[in-house]
Amino acid sequence: MKCEEVRKRMLETIEKGEIEPEISLHLQKCEACSKAFEEYKDLFNLLETEQEPSLEKVRSPQYLVSLRERIDASERGWLFGYPKPGFVVTLASVVVLALLLLNLSNFSDRFPYVASYTSPAVMQYVERPSSIYLGAEEELAYLLSEVEVQEDEGLPQLLSTSETNSLLQAEELLSSEVSLPALLEDLSEEEIEMLSQTIENLMSVFPSKENGVKRC
């Protein structure tokens, strides 16, 4: 049996708790597979030691009382039947953000209603001539490649740790299957404003074509 096949069946083997003779034979001969097998086995043992939280609160009568109240509130329905306060602002911000990521220009002329909900600083970014700058996604990809290089070299220079974390989170958000409206639904106006500010700050550290981007 080849290493590849053994690796494919390793987790299944550990879960079953029984090692098939041909896998056992391979593990005796192959040090690398044997080491990996032991590490996975240790990992599963370690996971077994995890303590679950107490179920006291979920078993209490108060849990059912509170649930009943929530169900009653949902039946009254204002929260579910109608847009939440601030929804329009949220929606406007989502649209602006989407466009910001697409780096479209002349935004406020084309969408004056939505633009009126957005901070002038963000609009300045949205409206800057796209020909001069890298696209937002391209800029993000470039910075992420910088982050990877820095991680490999262990010398974070271009970005601070918090900026690196933000970018990694941004990358995950951008690749998220959940739509931005779903993500933003519960954010307050203040948080939306903070988001605009954060994106603006991030964008300001992005190297642009104008300043000459050094590619790795």
Residue numbers of the site for another protein (CB under 8 A)? 11, 39-40, 42-43, 45-47, 49-55, 57-59, 63-64, 66-67, 70-71, 74, 80, 162-163, 165-166, 169-170, 172-173, 176-178, 182-184, 186-187, 191, 194-195, 198
Q: Which bin fits 64, alpha (ψ -120 to 50), beta or left (φ > 0)? A: alpha
Q: Tell me the helix, strand and coil percentages in the chain, rounded to 5.
A: 70, 0, 30
Say if CB 90 and CB 192 are below 8 A apart: yes
Inter-residue contact 203 to 138 (CB < 8 Å): no
Report, in Å, the least distance between residue 161 CB and another protein: 8
- In whole angstroms, the minimum distance from the beta carbon of 123 to another protein comes to 19
- Whose Cβ is closer to another protein: residue 54's or residue 131's? 54
* Torsion sign (Cα): 102, 105, 111, 117: positive
Smallest gap, in angstroms, from Cβ of residue 102 to another protein? 19
**Smallest gap from residue 33 Cβ to another protein (A):** 14
